[in-house]
Structure 1
């Protein structure tokens, strides 16, 4: 295969660069094939279905991935970086980072010992059951075969878990109990529609009940060992800095990003005070201005926030805005949108609940025809005060910004572009800071283009939203690399970031069950806006915003530092011609 790819016409000499690049492309394919044998669950969600029926045991996964990382770091080192094409060099760095990060994660972080959510396998089974990538009977067969190992999987999980974090244990119990319904109920419902013989269906549902029982037994065991004396949810500065470097892949350190966030908070407060002072008479009439400027901002935001939808209409309010955002993006020529890739707004699946209130699930790079979902958290069952607090946070203005971020031209648009990237590596090893940073960047871009008719209320609420991004970083760093208490966190979020109590409480929960991810928003936003300014300066009068956006997205979900290097280098080459 390598010889065929590398062959040239008779009499034509192959340059070393060509040989290295051709060989590297073949190596990438082999690399991925081997990886999907080790991690079939990840492969399934990316649309690679060759190994759907495999369930790898926790101990095997750890052993095989560490071995894979060591072997392939050695293989990668044999390719001279300076002789690879720009695209292949970027892939090289992404693969190298994944391998190093995997080793670090398994040998240093060891979350499999203290984070029981590691063993939440429900999502992959739900994907096989619900995504119509193959005939139902074929998917049900894969589901059935994969289920065989579930009881043994959770026996192993029980041996692996040591000193679990109480907050993560609680989350795991809730997610797994909800996910058990996929086996005990959803699987049986799908079988009835499948045309599979009744006798075989009985055999399949019996195995599903064994799987559901294994999950319930594991959660019962977790419940029995749950205490307040488990490992702290705080990573500690050393692990935090290392995790930031591995996952964010920024040109900045965690400390530098934190420092920048503190400066950005000051800037945003200054702008918010200015707008709030202008809006004060409109909303507060003749009421005297408070002596505390931040209190003034909070009062104005509080009045603006009374305009919001109802719990029953929350999802439909989101659905109505998607076509409007799409029309604006096209009218302003900000980005080309692919009409053949529709966005489906749906209630957030139960197995995903407990971390974020809204998210986008895109088809993997192998699944070109799959649906993209906008998952919306349900307010069903919430008491009146909690629901009101939540809806004030996601008022009529904020809801529009949320939809820009999650859908158009944010996550949904970026992920569609990412899946079109000619490099599978760039799509698969997507960088969270690039993905989240793009979504934050588009909020400001839309407002700068006139979205919201330049209303000061929209600008003020966006500053508040951007402040949330900034405070995500401040909160995450202070909690995991420091000792910020819940009381201090709630004060930061409610008094300095003007968030509703329910939102602040939810964010505290989130920072106790995740780490580093909350910094990805501001880090990516900072890097993208700085890149755009550098690119704009480079292009001078040839600069077009749409060109920048589409060129930036053409690199898949690679880290911004690599995209920056490629985009600015390309222009240097163009000038020299």
Structure 2
């Protein structure tokens, strides 16, 4: 009876979350709210806080000893998700100072980007959301105050992408649908509202003096909920600096062995990265190179029997202009609530059309042909696409684990997958140089994940400045200036997410090693399948599901 009660509470919680955030519900595959935008008002936030406090009370009344292991884990995952949302609505209150949260572009894009329903039906929802844009942005202005300059500047730029979507992609979709539907009025009014909102934000710039740093206490509270671990920021920072030295030592040994020079210093490592960076794609070649890399990574996984391949179709798409300029690729999984027969997307990015030649050159030196193979491992095979496809098949008594996935597990698995493939000699069948090139890029990405954590913690709990951050990334991380500059902006705009790569890698790789010791007769495929058989929970709960003791 207790499990039935929890299932009812869990399903109601997911339903109320989707109703509160209809744009995110669209991406999850819950389409009952596709005709709505969210409500950015203080009154809506107050109502939501009341719902969440009631939910916390309901969860507290469930006796843990009367739930089976899976439901007990899902109760804890749901409780963490609720606590995280409550923090966002109370002490953090980001909606009052981060204008990036109030951009209707993604809500519109979510209706165009996936064929979950006939295009005319989706365009009907687009029309409804377009009509709400003026009131939505007016309400956002009533909520926003005490903003930081970097958040305001970024929001203004991102709204340019929203305008391109409204005035370009929506008319193109209407033409494709061929129904003769006229949304010119809705498009004109929504575009005018976005431009007016941009003008208002520009007017706020002189007074946008808020620091983007969260501070020690707030960052620690958010980090604990993001990672679902007891890591303290100072301890995590110390561990990251130790691992930074270890990864650099691996790079030194590999570079020395590759170049025949013995142990390499930083100058020699930088020179080797520069040589590899010269083998760069272009905007004309990058999509095809990623298609070829996906074929190659899939064949390697199959040949080495690393995981049960689900052989789901994957849509390799050109990244829309609204998302370009941050990374060269990302994965869009099938929403956990989606019933339409969709395929996961592996989106690959040519550079934005307004970039200078120097900026394009820097971007493709960072995301060179060797890095593209490593990135394909991370984003697609056997990283995000394959892991999330396994998770999509997990059958539970409720929808909690599908909706509230652990970012640290998802990113940790992908970073672990990079190391797994490079360690087994991926591309050695092409040449020893090709395999060494991927291994160099994989170690560079390990450096990046460690540095992400150092930057995240040092900025939000300390006084890390731009000069120090750029030196860390370009010297110790061997990153191109453009990549480092973009990451510095991201550090200021976000908090705690950058730590998920490193912490997730530590947890996933440690879990796989412990499971291997516990089951020495298992093959790699058996081990990896077992890790991926339970959705995407935090590793601390995955240990519980696997019958392993808590990590020390």
2:301 pairs with one of 310, 324, 329: 329
2:334 pairs with one of 360, 363, 377: 363
Q: 1:251·1:561 contact (CA, 8 Å) conserved in 2?
A: no
The offset of 1:389, in angstroms, is 2.4
Aligned residues: 540
The offset of 1:328, in angstroms, is 0.9
Q: 2:329·2:379 contact (CA, 8 Å) conserved in 1?
A: yes
The separation in 2 between residues aligned to 1:71 and 1:519, in whole angstroms, is 31
Matched residue, 2:237: 258
Alignment of 1:65-214 (within 5 A): 65-194=48-177, 196=179, 198=180, 201-202=181-182, 204-214=183-193
Q: 1:495 to 1:228 in 2, by over 3 A?
A: farther
Runs of 4 or more, structure 1, over 6 Å off, are none
Matched residue, 1:245: 224
The separation in 1 between residues aligned to 2:99 and 2:40, in whole angstroms, is 12
The offset of 1:193, in angstroms, is 3.9
The offset of 1:248, in angstroms, is 1.6
Q: 2:293·2:372 contact (CA, 8 Å) conserved in 1?
A: no
The offset of 1:138, in angstroms, is 1.7
Q: 1:414 to 1:214 in 2, by over 3 A?
A: same
Matched residue, 1:44: 26
The TM-score normalised by the length of structure 1 is: 0.89
Q: 1:481 to 1:493 in 2, by over 3 A?
A: same
Q: 2:512·2:531 contact (CA, 8 Å) conserved in 1?
A: no
Matched residue, 2:350: 378
Q: 1:275 to 1:134 in 2, by over 3 A?
A: closer
The separation in 1 between residues aligned to 2:307 and 2:542, in whole angstroms, is 18
Q: 1:258·1:473 contact (CA, 8 Å) conserved in 2?
A: yes
Q: 2:97·2:148 contact (CA, 8 Å) conserved in 1?
A: yes
Matched residue, 1:428: 403
Alignment of 1:332-411 (within 5 A): 332-339=304-311, 341-353=312-324, 355-368=326-339, 369-379=341-351, 380-411=353-384
Alignment of 1:314-325 (within 5 A): 314-325=286-297
Where in structure 1 are there 5+ consecutive unaligned residues? 1-18, 283-288, 572-577
Q: 2:11·2:400 contact (CA, 8 Å) conserved in 1?
A: no
Q: 2:328·2:367 contact (CA, 8 Å) conserved in 1?
A: no
Matched residue, 1:489: 469
Q: 1:178·1:351 contact (CA, 8 Å) conserved in 2?
A: yes
The offset of 1:334, in angstroms, is 0.7
2:266 pairs with one of 257, 279, 294: 294
Matched residue, 2:209: 230
Matched residue, 1:14: none
Over the residues paired in the alignment, what is the CA RMSD in angstroms?
Answer: 2.2
The offset of 1:441, in angstroms, is 0.4
Secondary structure of 1:109's counterpart equals coil
Does 2:454 correspond to 1:474? yes
Where in structure 2 are there 5+ consecutive unaligned residues? none
The offset of 1:190, in angstroms, is 2.6
Q: 1:250·1:523 contact (CA, 8 Å) conserved in 2?
A: no
Higher Cα radius of gyration: 1
